[in-house]
Structures are given as C-alpha cells and as structure tokens.
Amino acid sequence: MRTWELGTTGIVASAVGFGGIPIIRLDREAAAALLRHAVDRGFTFFDTANRYLDSEEKMGLAFAGLRDKVVIATKTGMRGAKEAMEELELSLTRLQTDRIDLYQPHQVSTPEDFETLLGPGGAMEALVKAREQGKILHIGVTSHSLEMARKLVATGLFATIQFPYNIVETEAAADLFPEARAKGMGILAMKPFAGGMLDDGELALRFLRREPDLLVLAGCDTAEQVDQAADVFSGEAVWTEADAAKAEAFRQELGSRFCRRCEYCQPCPQGVRITYAMMYKVVTKRLSPAKAVGFSGATMETVRECIDCGECATRCPYNLPIPEMLREYLALYDSHKQGAV
C-alpha cells in the first residue's frame, strides 16, 4: 500500500483511508472484522465522526490492541467550547483511546458556523486546549462549501482540510487544494464515489489514485470494497483514454445538480423520503421507466406530501433546490406511471 505524509503533520498514513459511515450498517462483530481486514490490507488511516451513530464505538472495538498501528481521525459537529469538549471526551471513550490523531470540526458551512467556531467561547478554544493536553494531536476541519473551505484554509489554524473530490466534483482542484498545499496542510478527499452515485468504484478510485498527495477516504462495508481500494492504491496509477471517456459520460449523466445522499436534509416534517426521491432520475436511467415506477413507487408517493416549506433546502450543503427538484421528479414519475398502465 502506498503511504504518504499528511501535509506537515508528521502523520504518515496509507494513501487510501477508511471512511467510517458504511460500517453503521453492519453489526458490531462484522464491522470489527471488516476494520481488521482493512488493517491487514494496509489501511492505516480511519476516519469517523461523533455523529456517525455507533461508528466510533465499532472502531474502538476493532482497534483494541492495535491502537499504535492506526491513525484515527474523528469529528465534532459542536461549535461551542463546552459542547465540543463533551463530544471529544465521548469520542475518546467510544474509541477506547487516550488520544485522537486528527480531530475535525465537522461540516463547517455557514458564516455563523465560522464565527461561533473561531470566536470567544467557540469550539476552537477547547480544541487548542485539548491539543495542549495531548488528547488531540492535530486539528483539521471539514466542509462541503467551497467558499467556506477556502476561508477556513486561509485562517492558517488547521492542519488538514477534508472536502468532497471525485470524478464529477473536481472544483476543489482549481483553488482550494493549491491554497491548502501552500500552507502545508494535508488534504483529505471525501466522497470518492460521489455519495454512491458513481457505480464503478474501481474507476472512481483510479481517478483519485493519480493525484500526488490526496488522502482518499473510501467508505467500505464489504471485504471486496476494502480489497478493491487496497489494490488500486497498491498498484501504479493507470488512466486510459477509455477511462477518461467513461468519466466524462458520468459527468454528462449526473450534471451538477445531483444529490450526494448525505442525508443532511432529513428528516422532512411531512415524511417525504427526500434522499431516495432525489435519486429518481438516475434510477430511471439505470432501470427502465416501467421498472423505476415499481422500484421507487412507494418513495415517490411520499413526495405528494411536500408542502414546499423549504426546510430541507436550508440544510443541503450543496444548495440544491430540493423542493423544485422533487416536483420535477414527481412529474417525471407520474408520466412514467401513466405510460406503465
């Protein structure tokens, strides 16, 4: 497995890290077995978050006795000092460790977030203190907003930046990544599969394998996925004209207005199954319209309950006009339904 240093942190880790969301779906024993398999295949970097339900706990269980072999990154969604400290203590307990290698304020997106985080009594005060106490070794940050990520990098306060980067989301390459590199920051690429929208996982990983210094966070819930990522990041970078053509076809298919399935917009007070409904257009391309009606019917029927309150759109880190898109997909679904009878 290729390894490299994460910015100027001194952390040397596998070029592909393990993203901790998918293990939520596994039971504790299966998750621990998968994480240990990842260690056997050369993964040394594991990223989780306080808000990923029991993901931290499962990592704590898996890494008992292996702590010195792995680099653990986790996150807090709290913006105030007291609350962030409480989450840090909880993470230490769940992860069964006395130190976290990289601790990251999670998904900093709005100007209010930024001000609270860095202002008096903000989480950053607590994290700096925790770093002095040795509970945290480095402080990084994550964001889904390009503008905010650049602002965070410009502060010079963070050792790493974690941002989405994949075949269809390449905006960060223009300014954000060069600015982070110039500050000696490590770069963590999240969402290599565009939130599950890229169904050719090997192609998605090989696209990222060509980058000189990105630590790619691949979420895995099967041994096959772990093996695929380990194989891609153990071998040479291969990218052919045929690969480039396939990548371009994905870009054309998904466009820029696509849902990354992060679920931050949920829950809807009206019970609309937003994330699955937002997939309808892609589902119809992969299945036939008639099959898509059968497959997504129960979901799409919930869209009729939308009262256009706009609450979901305020929570979408990608600023998707969710109610408008849902209306569009419902009309498409209705036309398919009519065609199917």
Q: How far is the CB of 258 from ligand SF4 (least distance, A)?
A: 8
Q: Which is nearer to ligand SF4, 73 or 316 (CB)?
A: 316
Q: How far is CA 296 from CA 216, 281, 302, 322, 327, in A?
A: 32, 10, 10, 17, 15
Considering the complex, what minimum distance in angstroms separates the CB of residue 304 from ligand SF4? 10
Give me the least distance between CB of 321 and ligand SF4, in Å please.
10
Q: How far is the CB of 271 from ligand SF4 (least distance, A)?
A: 8
Q: What distance in Å separates the CA atoms of residue 76 and residue 288, rounded to the nearest whole number?
A: 42
44 vs 299 by CB, closer to ligand SF4: 299
Residue 88 contacts residue 130 (beta carbons within 8 Å): yes
SS (H, E, C) the chain: CCEEECCCCCCEEECEEEECCHHHHCCHHHHHHHHHHHHHCCCCEEECCCCCCCHHHHHHHHCCCCHHHCEEEEEECCCEHHHHHHHHHHHHHHCCCCCEEEEEECCCCCHHHHHHHHCCCEHHHHHHHHHHCCCEEEECEECCCHHHHHHHHHCCCCCEEEEECECCECHHHCCHHHHHHHCCCEEEEECCCHHHCCCCHHHHHHHHHCCCCEEEEEECCCHHHHHHHHHHHHCCCCCCHHHHHHHHHHHHHHCCCCCCCCCCCCCCCCCCCHHHHCCHHHHHHHCCHHHHHHHHHHHHHHHHHCCCCCHHHHHCCCCCCHHHHHHHHHHHHHHHHHHHC
Interface ranges with ligand SF4 (CB under 6 A): 259-265, 268, 270, 272, 274-275, 278, 306-312, 315-316, 318, 320, 322-323, 326
Closest CB 116 distance from ligand SF4, rounded Å: 21
**Are the beta carbons of 297 and 341 closer than 8 angstroms?**
no
Residue with smaller CB distance to ligand SF4, 33 or 332:
332
Q: How far is the CB of 56 from ligand SF4 (least distance, A)?
A: 22
Q: Which is nearer to ligand SF4, 4 or 264 (CB)?
A: 264
Q: Which is nearer to ligand SF4, 14 or 299 (CB)?
A: 299
Q: C-beta of 268: minimal distance to ligand SF4 in Å?
A: 3
Closer residue to ligand SF4 in complex, CB, 181/315: 315
Q: Quote the distance between the C-alpha of residue 201 and its chain's center.
A: 15
35 versus 300: smaller Cβ distance to ligand SF4: 300
| Catalytic-residue membership of 276 | no
Which active-site residues does the annotation give?
52
